Amino acid sequence: MSAHPGLALLLGAWLDDVRRRPRRSPIVYVAVAAALAALVPPSLELRTPRSRSNDATAVATAVREAGRPGDGLLHLSGRQRILTATHPDDTRLLVDLALARDPVASNTLAGVEFAAPGIAARMKEFDRIVVVRAAGERASGDPREEAKEETLRRHFREDRAVEVNGARVSVQVRRHGDSARAEFLRAPSGSG
């Protein structure tokens, strides 16, 4: 698919050259037929559902359907926040656990995330987290991404998941006996 714009430019330059020839020249007719034969199939392919491998609307809808008001929301990686940013109403009742400054305030596409320890601490405050991950994406060596993965692995289990046009939306629930309330009760109390 990435070669199609280059092919179109090449054909356009060639057709411009052909345009300068006499109209009755057979090469003009051959050129027009060749251009149509080359450009129509890719154009039709772009209009199929299969070509929409990163349909942000479908991803945002899946997040809305998976989440409950007050659930945590986690993007693996933070760059994938753009998958849900196009439809903020689908995520407005969820708490973005990693986001320190939103895209508008930070003048970035995906916003600015908390440091790794802050993200892990916020995740542990929730019993349910909706996780959005681009298909095939794994932790990249970024400490924040590793903290997200490690906290999910140690404290949560996947309840359900759905694959949606190039993304995986899953609901992670706290492991039995590892609730935020249980952690609070286990914490040593100060005696004075």
Asked if residues 152 and 131 have their Cβ atoms less than 8 Å apart, the reply is yes
Q: Who has greater pLDDT, 112 or 44?
A: 112
Per-residue pLDDT reduced to its tens digit, 60-73:
888 899 999 999 99
pLDDT in tens, 3-35: 567 767 777 787 777 777 776 677 777 777 777
Sequence-ordered list of residues with C-beta below 8 angstroms from that of 58, at least 6 positions apart, any chain: 164, 165
Residue 50, pLDDT > 70, answer no
- Which among 81-95, 103-117, 136-150, 177-191 has the top mean pLDDT? 103-117
Q: Looking at per-residue confidence, does 177 or 164 come out higher?
A: 164
Residue 156 in tokens? 């949560």
Distance from the Cα of residue 77 to its chain's centroid: 8
Q: How many angstroms separate the Cα of 187 from the Cα of each of 174, 181, 183?
A: 18, 10, 6
| pLDDT level of residue 179 (50, 70, 90 thresholds) | low
| pLDDT tens column, 103-122 | 888 898 778 889 999 999 99
Q: Would the pLDDT of 131 be above 60? A: yes
pLDDT at 180: 53
At 166 the pLDDT is: 78
Joined together, the tokens standing for residue 188 give 């040593």
Residue 68's CB is within 10 A of a number of other CB atoms, namely 10
Q: How high is the pLDDT of residue 90?
A: 78
> Assign residue 7 a region: left if phi > 0, alpha if psi is -120 to 50, beta otherwise?
alpha
Closest CA to 121 of 100, 148, 101, 139: 148
pLDDT at 78: 73
pLDDT at 153: 93
Helical H segments across the chain, by residue range = 4-19, 26-45, 56-66, 82-85, 103-106, 116-123, 143-155, 180-186
Percent of the chain clearing pLDDT 90 (strictly above): 31
Q: Across the chain, how many H-helices and E-strands are there?
A: 8, 7
Q: Which residues contact 182 (CB under 8 A, 6 or more apart)?
A: none
* Percentage of residues of the chain with pLDDT beyond 70: 78
